[in-house]
Chains A and B, each alone.
Chain A
């Protein structure tokens, strides 16, 4: 399946992927409303890990055999059998955070939406097509492509 891959050689640590992610997952899809009205600062589903001068954007790897799905006690976390995308059916989440604890990449963080728990994880912008982090990366440090297993 097509996934987001980081190219650390070109990641310049601007964290704009996080900004674009937040806007793409906001109700308004507007930068100012997302940050100023919806207060979504810090809720990015992609996190730039830094060990300067190196930095790299990390998000869900959409594993073939995802531990978050296996561990989910409410059946909220699922892997789409067609697209392979691992995502959370937010109305079913009970906030036990087994997914957070189980993720080997640290790519899921606990969050909340309208007072309800919701795991912050990449859904590859499954409704939009191209992930917002990739589309908005100013230095093409993120690519969305098909790679062979293990590549």
Chain B
């Protein structure tokens, strides 16, 4: 780094000395060394250039003495050369490296969820009060028989359906990319609520096998932590082909994060970089994928449904059709808003397509080909609220994966510095000083509360539409209307414009 940076700090840490009691909690909790204490002068001060606006100090300060301000752009306003572009250029001029970032795409692409509205019953059909009448959110994931026959039970290659109590699952976040504490919080909450969490590609730590019955165990291109016991312990096996935040890109967990327990779980030497290749080196076609799917099914005696997770890309519908025909029981599609622990900024912000369009396209294609019943469709990538969940299900998803929302529930403030391993909130770090900030007891409660709240809201929305089961909403696009969408968008989403009648 040059001695003189051409970029002024992005944030200012402002301390109200009238309120500050000099308890030094901010200094002890700052993960990025922005908060400093000069013991000789008994003075607190901040190094603004280090601040990433993670808000840990603001949250922990008992006196409410801290505020983080975004500094004004370091240039005259320019709609083309935005501050983000400028900062990136300067950073690269100083380092010569690939820009890295964390979490999901933060650019202002149109959010289709915000252009879709839900229906409600009035006069001609009664709405349902979920507090008085039963309301079914239980969802079964897996492949359905076609047609239903008595011979079905004799088919030894049919994997069982997996019930979840709400159509919301926790998406893949590996142990290694997130702390043991965060991982355990997800596992505990999934078990308590009766849904599934996802191990990500880093295996399942030995001490968390008691939660394995609620785990989607992932098999990714690096094959980290994959062994027969792992596959047979999980409830669902997921082959990870791609991830919404970085379609076409592999993974790289730096050696600093490969601590002894992470190394043991991943079955790699301590301190070595964990490199996930971009493709699976044994999958170059749908036929190859089929081989892996059936290898995994054989390894688990056809007791575990196999999911295949792909990023939402331009040709997603045709790819999904191939995956369904290759024998997958579940297809998970991750939209371009999906998060990550680390991705090249350019990939994260410019590759992939919105999940809304991908789900609509895939559901439509599978229906047209008459194979929709062969797979469950799981949507992922930037679900912010229960309304997003309901809209995705109406567009054709069976269930959704949430991950960024769960991290926010655990304390994440979206500072996008996961790749540094310095997370002040104890989530994306393996540093024991930081990770112990996340008590899994509290974490699991918060995640449970989130699922509970969203599930209640989903019931309310279903009731309003006069539906008493989430099954009846699946792919029911008549309950959706678009606002401010053009004809192509409406056609792709398969919805009418607001104001159009049934």
Contact = CB atoms under 8 A, between A and B. Distances in A.
Contacts of B19: 32
B439 A41 contact: no
- Could you tell me the dominant secondary structure of chain A's interface residues? loop
B100 interface: no
A41 B22 CA distance: 8
Contacts of B62: 16, 19-20, 31
B433 A53 contact: yes
B431 A53 contact: yes
Interface residues of B, number: 21
A88 B220 CA distance: 63
Contact of A18 (B23, B29, B426, B432): B23
Contacts of B63: 31-32
Which of B63, B436, B442 counts the most chain A CB atoms within 10 A? B436
B354 to A, nearest CB: 38
Q: Majority SS of interface residues in chain B?
A: loop
A10 B436 contact: yes
Given A41-B21, A41-B22, A15 B431 contact: no
A24 to B, nearest CB: 13
B307 to A, nearest CB: 34
A138 interface: yes
Contacts of A12: 29, 426, 436-437
B60 A13 contact: no
Interface in B14-38: 19, 21-25, 28-29
B21 A141 contact: no
A147 interface: no
Nearest to B440: A10
5 contacts: A12-B29, A14-B25, A53-B431, A138-B60, A139-B439
Interface of A: 9-16, 18-20, 31-32, 35-36, 41, 52-53, 138-141
Given A15-B25, A16-B23, A139-B439, 20 more contacts: A11-B436, A12-B29, A12-B426, A14-B25, A14-B28, A15-B24, A16-B62, A19-B25, A19-B62, A31-B21, A31-B62, A32-B21, A32-B63, A35-B21, A41-B22, A52-B433, A138-B60, A139-B437, A139-B442, A140-B441
